[in-house]
Amino acid sequence: MSTHASDPLAALGSLPGVADSVDSVRKAVDRVYGHRVMRRRSNEITSEAALRGARGSAALSGADWALEEVRRRTDFGGDAEARTVGAALRLGAESGQLLSIWRQSPLRVLARLHLVAVGDTPDFGDSVGRPRQPGEAVDEPLIEAPLPDPAEVAGRLDGLSELIIAGGTAPALVTAAVVHGELLALRPFTSYNGLIARAAERIVLIGSGLDPKAICPAEVGHAEQGRAAYVAAFEGYLSGTPEGMAAWIAHCGRAVELGVRESTAVCEALQRGAA
């Protein structure tokens, strides 16, 4: 993170264009929450958003399955793609259960997310649920940026945790984007870092009150914008420049808006009796 102000997340909110992204996201979220279907069938929208979000996150991690295949399958213990989809589904189901712990101990939540992602997958040894150690390889197919060493990872995780616990005045979108970007940059675990970063973004959006019913799956929007655009925007985060940070936050905002569009379509389908 590129600023050392007393509230660095709030400072990011003042970057050029960020306020427009924040306002656009809020308006989009308000519209879907105001949909008439949400008054009586919000649980169905939440469940569908979790499924579609998991599919989108898995797609970014190299397992680009059709939605109906994700919906149909019950066994995710086979090849690497199946394990990735299973991990994304488990993370989607777990995220909403961790909100109170996140506010008090984000590092405990991240450890839990890695345990959940790995599940019953064999051969992970004692690397599950803890930050990687010197010499341990990282399996993250999409992100090829230089890998910080474990000492830097520990320091930056502590800094991120302190920011989250302290709270502040930053808009939810800004906090979510920074959490997402920082975890991608650090890749603190030996596996599933992309899935965990996107799950953490989801937790922030839910816990902040922006999306309390978890019906705006940003993962859908990240996948819809494509892997190349995702990596390019992330490089902006890595640059630490005001322009790069603003571009990453805007990319994350657009992802939320596309998630809103997806759930709005689900609402419309339910209203028509077609789903």
C-alpha–C-alpha distance, residues 223 and 251, integer Å? 11
C-alpha–C-alpha distance, residues 188 and 172, integer Å? 23
| pTM exceeds cut of 0.85 | yes
17 burial level (CB within 10 Å; 0-12, 13-18, 19+): middle
- Determine the distance from the C-alpha atom of residue 100 to the mean position of all C-alpha atoms in its chain, rounded to a whole number: 17
- Residue 2: what pLDDT? 41
Whether the CB-CB separation of 240 and 1 falls below 8 Å is answered with yes
C-alpha–C-alpha distance, residues 187 and 178, integer Å? 14
C-alpha–C-alpha distance, residues 216 and 39, integer Å? 16
Strands (DSSP E) found in 95-226: none
Residues 263-272: tens digit of each pLDDT: 999 999 999 8
Among 7-11, 79-83, 130-134, 178-182, name the most confident range.
Answer: 178-182
- Residue 6: what pLDDT? 64
Whether the CB-CB separation of 248 and 235 falls below 8 Å is answered with no
- Residue 275: what pLDDT? 45
Look at the block and give the residue holding tokens 């689900």.
Answer: 266
Residues 54-86: tens digit of each pLDDT: 999 999 999 999 999 999 988 887 788 999 999
Question: Residue 234: pLDDT above 70?
Answer: yes
Rounded mean pLDDT, 224-237? 97
C-alpha–C-alpha distance, residues 164 and 151, integer Å? 20
Whether the CB-CB separation of 90 and 170 falls below 8 Å is answered with no
Whether the CB-CB separation of 100 and 165 falls below 8 Å is answered with no
